[in-house]
Chain A
Amino acid sequence: MSLHCHHDRGTPARTSTQHVTLSIDGVPITVPAGTSVMHAAAEAGIDIPKLCATEQLESFGSCRLCVVQVKNRRGYPASCTTLAEEGMEVTTENDALFRLRRGVMELYISDHPLDCLTCSANGNCELQDQAGRVGLREVRYADGQNHLQEATDTSNPYFAYDPSKCIVCSRCVRACSDIQGTYALTTTERGFDSRIAAAGGEDFMSSECVSCGACVAACPTAALMEKSVIEMGQPQRSVTTTCAYCGVGCSLNAELQGEKVIRMVPDLNGGANHGHACVKGRFAWGYATHADRITTPMIRSSIRDPWREVSWEEAIAHTASELRRLQEKYGAESIGSITSSRCSNEETYLVQKLTRAAFGVNNVDTCARVCHSPTGYGLKQTLGESAGTQDFDSVMQADVIMVIGANPTDGHPVFGSRMKQRLRQGAKLIVADPRAIDLVDTPHVRAAHHLKLLPGTNVALINALAHVVVAEGLVDEDFVVDRCEAEAFNKWRTFIADPRHSPEATASVTGVPADEVRAAARLYATGGNAAIYYGLGVTEHSQGSTMVMGIANLAMATGNIGRPGVGVNPLRGQNNVQGSCDMGSFPHELPGYRHVSDVATRELFESVWGVPLSDEPGLRIPNMFDAAIAGSFKGLYVQGEDIAQSDPNTGHVTHALESLECLVVQDLFLNETAKFAHVFLPGASFLEKDGTFTNAERRISRIRKVMRPLATYADWEVTQMLSNALGYPMNYSHPSEIMDEIARLTPTFHDVSYANLDRLGSIQWPCNAEHPDGTPTMHVTEFVRGKGRFMLTEYVATDERVNRRFPLLLTTGRILSQYNVGAQTRRTANNAWHPEDILELHPVDAEDRGIRDGDWVGVQSRAGETVLRARISERMQPGVVYTTFHWPGSGANVVTTENSDWATNCPEYKVTAVQLSRVEQPSTWQKQFAQFSEEQMKLLKQEPAGAPV
């Protein structure tokens, strides 16, 4: 039960064109047909006692506390399961009901420990509240049989299950099934022996539980309780903020004692998450106060020198001096910046402004370069806007859901749960993925088609799907004529109709049987509202941009754009990927995706920023690395990113970093990049600052400061100090002023302000005079670019091909419990689920090489070699192996190559030709990495011997 006093009406609200009017305790009330008596009563201001009922779950009718009387009907029906009817007259309070409820409560309490004063739920317990509500004064059955001696299950690192306090209301079981969709909890036995149990294991930790915490939030007692509350007591205040993990951007209530976070509770009013969260957002926030945090600025002249702690003034002055020195010595273009999708809109806006206005160059890029830059390019070319077309709620109106190269239940778990809700309602699922992701076959969900393609053949597959649509007359001709450019469509129709794109012709390339492709295409084109959701399995390819355009082509050809239930939906990896791109983090675009060569746009920014701006596109991250190695790029300011771990071909990246004369890293921790840095500026976690994040559905949400920055300053203040030291004045007193400037300069953000965000909760851009409350669905009457443009999408095989030396394809991804480079989650108890990166391979490939489950396996590619522990899994197809990149010592990116998307340089993480062999020790790189890391940690603690840097 959360601290927020949400008025829980007991059963979900209904919507209907039909309404009924009834009388409850003499109060007339009109509600939509299908509304429960309990909900109707709550609407009338009458709260009927309840235990097993909550607005988040369908009614269950087990506790019998909510009984009422209905005129001219026999008995005492449960108000949660009785629907309101026209003319019904309901009585909620009389002597008989009073006696019944008190008797029910007496039975509950007869098997409940009477330790309220020392109970962790004391002061915030529904059972306690309801006992008071029904006037319980004595328990006559205290000596009877009970469950009071049952042991507490403390196996989960974040919450405990105390069966002695369980009233078997089943709210946890229903939350697990109906909200989360995991079905890990069940009620065992019957009658008095009924108990809640986690399925598939002896305790919670060994069960199928994914630790989303929905059961904890649903529990009306202390049976399921956060360990932080057990240890520290009930929180005293609550601040609504936004999760700092994935691109779902869940709204969370940080519940606090003073500045100390006691727990995170998902916000029932959250537009993206509607009261749900996952193991990361709900529980893995402890990194914010982890002992590894560095809270004092540090400088050094060489990466072999010890760090020297300095004041903020000295650190900023030194940084500015070094950057100016480099520009004077090597030219203005010798420095640049990298913004982060883990930072706020205001922070990324400020870093790109610093780069363009204070550095005087466009050498600014963001980590979206290595994830969703092809989305920006591809959707801009076809639809006219570099963003997804829908809100998350749209999925509840989809009839066909196609998931391409995404793993929502791991990467975007809260949205994954919502998608599963729709699939359980009957929507059809098509999965295109080399691996059998969980969605393919999960409780009550089974994909109609799993197109198990070979890595690197996405474009051949999307072309084959489109070929079927054209060849079999499934084009939505009216939509295309009305909404799309005729010339481009006709050219595309001729192109895609060519037999070389047919499923039969492409089957040998993709590995997907032609009849399966044809069936999937027919389902997508004719199955009603069809929505595509895609992830990095689409973008991180040499043809990532081509694939995004292919997806847009398919959606336009079938008319699946411009209304709820359809659309093209990129699932963004990190919380602010969309926002960092919106804010002008790309080297060729100013905020709002306007090219730097556009004179009118440049003049607009020049008039507000007061300096001339370059019309030349700057360096992208991979280009920065190449230029650094070539000797023309010497200084880099990195805010909140860990390029040494996340970017491909680690050897190449670290060579580039070692080539820099001044690397400035602003971060919470001494991450892998910081080990190559000359200046370390301490960062602030999302709990320590105000700002906004923009999630995958273009939803701008507030993050709110709940504690003072551990290192004194929020990140935007540090950037501002650096700018001022460089001689370009910035004088913001609060991030809201930065947002006001963004709104003045960016048409799609015109009406965005902190006041409007506070009023509306969150806003999906575009937000302007035409759409003052935001835009859940884009391209409704016309595309942003006017007419939709079909693009030609020839399949071009990647240069990263298998051969006798490297006969397998490695593809990389992420897992539920860890996040990106792991800098945050590795400093939490989430390590209990994923203590190391594992190599998954098919039994056939394992047998061919004599590899057994758990063996150390050497993974060799053209770029390098690393060693991982093997897990043999039939989720893989023969010839394809998989790993994650959450642990730096795993060296997943030692193996990946610099091969990249033709349009954007987004690395081809998803296709690396490798060979495997059983080994007995770490790779050479891993040994060197361990030694280098150890040296760097010593330099962190070591006092400098000589003169100041």
Chain B
Amino acid sequence: MNIEHLIHMANQIGAYFEAEPDRVVASAGVADHLARFWEKRMRQSLYAYLDSAQDSTLTPLVSEALTRHREQILGKLQ
């Protein structure tokens, strides 16, 4: 999967949830969206990037959501 494309899509999701004033709720929103709508190859690719990238281009909210909700997003794929 084209990681640049996935990063762009993930950051778009993050941009939507930036409107939420409660950061915890926003982070959970990003995580829930990824878990419910993204196929596992896409989620795994995103985590592979997160875990290996030196200078991630994921927005802080998306990075935070991926880190905080790893178990929910990856589930049994871990």
Residues in chain A within 8 A of chain B (CB atoms):
333, 363, 491, 495, 542-543, 546, 587-588, 595, 597, 616-620, 623, 626-627, 629-630, 632, 792-794, 796, 799, 898, 900, 902-905
Q: Are A616 and B36 within 8 A (Cβ)?
A: no
Complex CA distance for A333 and B16, rounded to whole angstroms: 30
> Which residues of the other chain, B, contact A630 by a CB distance below 8 angstroms?
1-2
Which residue of the partner chain, among A333, A495, A597, contacts B36 with CB atoms under 8 Å?
Answer: A597
The reply to whether the CB of B9 lies closer than 8 angstroms to some CB of chain A is yes
Q: Are B36 and A588 within 8 A (Cβ)?
A: yes
The reply to whether the CB of B13 lies closer than 8 angstroms to some CB of chain A is yes
Q: Are B37 and A903 within 8 A (Cβ)?
A: yes
Complex CA distance for A495 and B18, rounded to whole angstroms: 12
Residues in chain B within 8 A of chain A (CB atoms):
1-2, 5, 8-9, 12-13, 15-16, 18-21, 33, 36-42
Q: When A495-B19, A627-B1, A794-B16 are in contact, do A632 and B36 touch as well, CB less than 8 Å?
A: no
Complex CA distance for A799 and B4, rounded to whole angstroms: 14
Which residue of the partner chain, among B1, B16, B36, B40, contacts A546 with CB atoms under 8 Å?
Answer: B16
Complex CA distance for A834 and B71, rounded to whole angstroms: 54
Which residue of the partner chain, among B2, B38, B41, contacts A629 with CB atoms under 8 Å?
Answer: B2
Main secondary structure of the interface of A (DSSP, over half): loop
Q: When A792-B19, A903-B33 are in contact, do A616 and B40 touch as well, CB less than 8 Å?
A: yes
22 A-B residue pairings within 8 Å (CB atoms): A363-B39, A495-B19, A542-B12, A588-B37, A597-B36, A617-B38, A618-B39, A623-B1, A626-B2, A626-B5, A627-B1, A627-B39, A629-B2, A794-B16, A796-B12, A796-B16, A799-B8, A902-B13, A903-B13, A903-B16, A903-B37, A904-B37
Complex CA distance for A569 and B44, rounded to whole angstroms: 38
Complex CA distance for A163 and B78, rounded to whole angstroms: 78
Q: Quick one: which of A595, A617, A796 has the most chain B CB within 10 A? A: A617
Complex CA distance for A616 and B41, rounded to whole angstroms: 11
> Which residues of the other chain, A, contact B15 by a CB distance below 8 angstroms?
794, 796, 902
* 7 pairs of A and B residues whose beta carbons are closest in the complex: A794-B19, A902-B12, A792-B19, A619-B39, A796-B15, A630-B1, A902-B16
Complex CA distance for A905 and B6, rounded to whole angstroms: 11
> Which residues of the other chain, B, contact A898 by a CB distance below 8 angstroms?
5
Complex CA distance for A588 and B42, rounded to whole angstroms: 14
Q: Are B36 and A626 within 8 A (Cβ)?
A: no
Complex CA distance for A646 and B64, rounded to whole angstroms: 37
Shortest beta-carbon distance from B22 to chain A in Å: 9
Q: Are B36 and A905 within 8 A (Cβ)?
A: no
Q: Which B-chain residue is minimally distant from A363 (CB atoms)?
A: B39
Complex CA distance for A534 and B22, rounded to whole angstroms: 32
Q: Are B5 and A595 within 8 A (Cβ)?
A: no
> Which residues of the other chain, B, contact A620 by a CB distance below 8 angstroms?
37, 39
Shortest beta-carbon distance from B24 to chain A in Å: 14
> Which residues of the other chain, A, contact B16 by a CB distance below 8 angstroms?
543, 546, 794, 796, 902-903
Q: Which B-chain residue is minimally distant from A791 (CB atoms)?
A: B19
Complex CA distance for A696 and B63, rounded to whole angstroms: 39
Which residue of the partner chain, among A542, A597, A623, A792, contacts B39 with CB atoms under 8 Å?
Answer: A623
Q: Which A-chain residue is minimally distant from B14 (CB atoms)?
A: A902
> Which residues of the other chain, B, contact A363 by a CB distance below 8 angstroms?
39
Q: Which A-chain residue is minimally distant from B29 (CB atoms)?
A: A792
Complex CA distance for A627 and B39, rounded to whole angstroms: 10
Q: Are A333 and B41 within 8 A (Cβ)?
A: yes
Q: Quick one: which of B8, B12, B36, B38 has the most chain A CB within 10 A? A: B12
Q: Which A-chain residue is minimally distant from B16 (CB atoms)?
A: A902
Q: Are A626 and B1 within 8 A (Cβ)?
A: yes
Q: Are B19 and A617 within 8 A (Cβ)?
A: no
Shortest beta-carbon distance from A874 to chain B in Å: 35
Complex CA distance for A794 and B13, rounded to whole angstroms: 12
Complex CA distance for A905 and B5, rounded to whole angstroms: 11
Complex CA distance for A748 and B19, rounded to whole angstroms: 34
> Which residues of the other chain, A, contact B9 by a CB distance below 8 angstroms?
900, 902, 905
Q: Are A792 and B2 within 8 A (Cβ)?
A: no
Complex CA distance for A792 and B9, rounded to whole angstroms: 19
> Which residues of the other chain, A, contact B2 by a CB distance below 8 angstroms?
626, 629-630
Complex CA distance for A618 and B39, rounded to whole angstroms: 5
Q: Are A794 and B38 within 8 A (Cβ)?
A: no
> Which residues of the other chain, B, contact A619 by a CB distance below 8 angstroms?
39, 41
> Which residues of the other chain, A, contact B8 by a CB distance below 8 angstroms?
799
Shortest beta-carbon distance from B66 to chain A in Å: 16
Shortest beta-carbon distance from B60 to chain A in Å: 16
Q: A595-B36, A794-B15, A898-B5 are in contact. List 4 more A-B contacts (CB 8 A).
A: A333-B40, A363-B39, A627-B41, A902-B16
Shortest beta-carbon distance from B18 to chain A in Å: 7
Complex CA distance for A529 and B16, rounded to whole angstroms: 31
Q: Quick one: which of A597, A616, A629, A900 has the most chain B CB within 10 A? A: A616
> Which residues of the other chain, B, contact A491 by a CB distance below 8 angstroms?
21
Q: Are B33 and A792 within 8 A (Cβ)?
A: no
> Which residues of the other chain, A, contact B41 by a CB distance below 8 angstroms?
333, 619, 627, 632
Complex CA distance for A491 and B22, rounded to whole angstroms: 11
Complex CA distance for A438 and B42, rounded to whole angstroms: 43
Shortest beta-carbon distance from A224 to chain B in Å: 52
> Which residues of the other chain, B, contact A629 by a CB distance below 8 angstroms?
2
> Which residues of the other chain, A, contact B37 by a CB distance below 8 angstroms?
588, 617, 620, 903-904
